[in-house]
Amino acid sequence: MRAAVVGQGYVGLTGAVALAQQGHRVVGVEQDRERLACLRAGEPPVLEPGLIQQMTAVLRTGRLEFVEDLADAMVADPLDVVMICVGTPPAADGSANLSQVLTAIEEAAELAGAPLVVLKSTVPPGTSDMLLAEYPELRRRFVCNPEFLNQGSALDDWQAPARIVAGAHHPEAVTVLRDLYRSVSCPWVTSTPATAEMIKYASNAFLATKISFANELARMCAAPDLNVDHVVQGVGLDPRIGHALLRPGMGHGASCLPKDTAALFHWAAGQGIPTPLLDATVRTDAQQPAAVLGLLRESVGGRLRELEVAVLGVRHEPWSDDLRSAPSRVLLPLLQEQGAAVRVWDPGLTPDELSHLAPSATAHTALLTAVAGAHAVLVLTEWPQAVEADWADLAARMREPRVVVDAKNCLPPALLHRLPVVYRGIGNRRPAPEPAATEPSANELAAADPVAPQTVV
Ligand SMILES: NC(=O)c1ccc[n+]([C@@H]2O[C@H](COP(=O)([O-])OP(=O)(O)OC[C@H]3O[C@@H](n4cnc5c(N)ncnc54)[C@H](O)[C@@H]3O)[C@@H](O)[C@H]2O)c1
């Protein structure tokens, strides 16, 4: 089939490459001239593992090309499918800004040849029907087909998704979509467009709730005899719950979960539907940067003023360059407001990019120089270079009070607790004491347990 993919960001570019790998002839449409120039030079403008290699391979087959306007995609041959993957960023009030979708649909509706129009962008329930009321000619050939990929495994997710959701008013539209995805094997959910839109928001709201729940658990596991790592491990082993995203840390992060929970919250409020659970999920997440800052402040003895703090990692995840809602964007200014002298290190960003994100921080290209002489270290990204660093050496190079706050719970706790540093994670990560080598005597047991039977002598 011949498909145009409108918008060449994280979703559209990985989708264009995946569809071309599946044998389709694909035209990637990108209006941003800088992004378009990168694409035409064979360089992906977004970071995704394996993307450059797979993009290079499909470009060689001649099945993938890039144009600036959707109308240009029609010049060579007619299109069977137009897939809309444009952004739906948050508006100031938290609602989804649909302006890119409105423009793309208008352009798609004007095309000759009546291609199937597939809406991949994440939009609030009712958006497709609002668009179809405006363009009734699209009604028989429109599918809302939300995307569920994870940044970091986007290409695999395109080839082997957990499910395909197709919201349409006419079965023939779903038939064309099935033809497009014929080489993908997974369960299908067919529904109305509004239900498809809700499935996407509900999925992200549920994932966000899991993260907020893990962070709330971590707050409850502050006591010395509770270890949050063991709690989430034990809870997640239940197949009804699972480990995915059930992990305390810096919160929702990246871009989709914060913007989609905010948009769903806004949509429900507009319908007059109370959402106390979603409200709590969002509020717990909003508190996380301040909670991490509080942990750091408490660990250094109450004041950050004039302390040198090395922030290790600015990205939310090492494998993604998506900084749109990275928690560091909130945390770095808070840290500077408290008077700390901030150093930043992130091997995924150039010193210029680091300086742009944190203008009054000192950018470091080496982990060692960022940490040497610092009073405190704050780990915000699970960079392997930081996780696998020689922490005994780093600790020796730090200045008192030598505090390490691990906001991603990614450093080895048993090692860090043995070093001459104050090590704190999100929730208590102190390992349980090793079991005694010999059986304790009855008197030792009684002494250790105040509620043990008093008959023991
Ligand atoms: N990023 C993710 O992990 C992810 C996952 C699932 C779903 N989504 C959803 O998919 C959609 C796209 O997300 P993204 O992260 O890829 O966005 P993005 O902002 O990275 O990319 C969107 C691209 O569309 C281009 N564009 C906008 N209007 C255009 C037009 N009329 N013609 C040509 N190009 C146009 C923009 O220039 C931009 O490059 C969003 O609705 C998002 O919520 C994203």
Residues 114-126: tens digit of each pLDDT: 999 999 999 999 9
> Is there a common fold for 2-191 and 215-425?
yes
Q: Please determine, for residue 449, whether its predicted confidence score (pLDDT) is greater than 50.
A: no
Question: Right CATH number for 215-425 from 3.30.428.10, 3.40.50.720, 3.40.190.10, 3.50.50.60?
Answer: 3.40.50.720
Angle at 362 between CA 296 and CA 249, to 5 degrees: 35
Report d(CA 204, CA 151) in Å as an integer: 13
The two three-digit tokens of residue 186, written as one number: 């997974």
Domain ranges across the chain:
2-191, 215-425
Report d(CA 363, CA 449) in Å as an integer: 52
Question: Is the CB of 358 inside a 6 Å radius of any atom of ligand 1?
Answer: no
Q: Please determine, for residue 439, whether its predicted confidence score (pLDDT) is greater than 90.
A: no
In terms of C-beta density within 10 A (0-12 exposed, 13-18 middle, 19 or more buried), how is residue 89 classed? middle
Please name which of 147, 7, 154, 21 lies closest in space to residue 66, comparing C-alpha atoms: 7
| CATH superfamily assigned to domain 2-191 | NAD(P)-binding Rossmann-like Domain (3.40.50.720)
Q: Please determine, for residue 456, whether its predicted confidence score (pLDDT) is greater than 90.
A: no
Residue having the nearest C-alpha atom to atom 19 of ligand 1:
87
- The pLDDT value recorded for residue 360 is 87
Annotated active-site residue 256? The verdict is: yes
Report d(CA 213, CA 280) in Å as an integer: 10
Q: Please determine, for residue 185, whether its predicted confidence score (pLDDT) is greater than 90.
A: yes
- Name the band, by pLDDT with cuts 50, 70 and 90, for residue 278: very high
- Name the band, by pLDDT with cuts 50, 70 and 90, for residue 435: low
Angle at 344 between CA 340 and CA 349, to 5 degrees: 155
Which helix (H) or strand (E) element contains residue 235?
helix 228-236
The two three-digit tokens of residue 350, written as one number: 């150039």
pLDDT, tens digit, 9 for 90 and up, residues 295-319: 999 999 999 999 999 999 999 999 8
Which helix (H) or strand (E) element contains residue 443?
helix 442-448
Question: Is the CB of 127 inside a 6 Å radius of any atom of ligand 1?
Answer: no
Residue having the nearest C-alpha atom to atom 25 of ligand 1:
7
Residue having the nearest C-alpha atom to atom 7 of ligand 1:
147
The two three-digit tokens of residue 401, written as one number: 């009070």
Report d(CA 311, CA 12) in Å as an integer: 33
Any idea what DSSP says for residue 323? -
- The pLDDT value recorded for residue 320 is 86
Residues 6 or more apart whose Cβ sits within 8 Å of residue 218: 228, 248, 426, 427
What mean pLDDT comes out for the span 45-59? Answer: 96
Report d(CA 329, CA 315) in Å as an integer: 9
Report d(CA 101, CA 118) in Å as an integer: 11
Residue 320 Cα to ligand 1 middle (Å)? 15
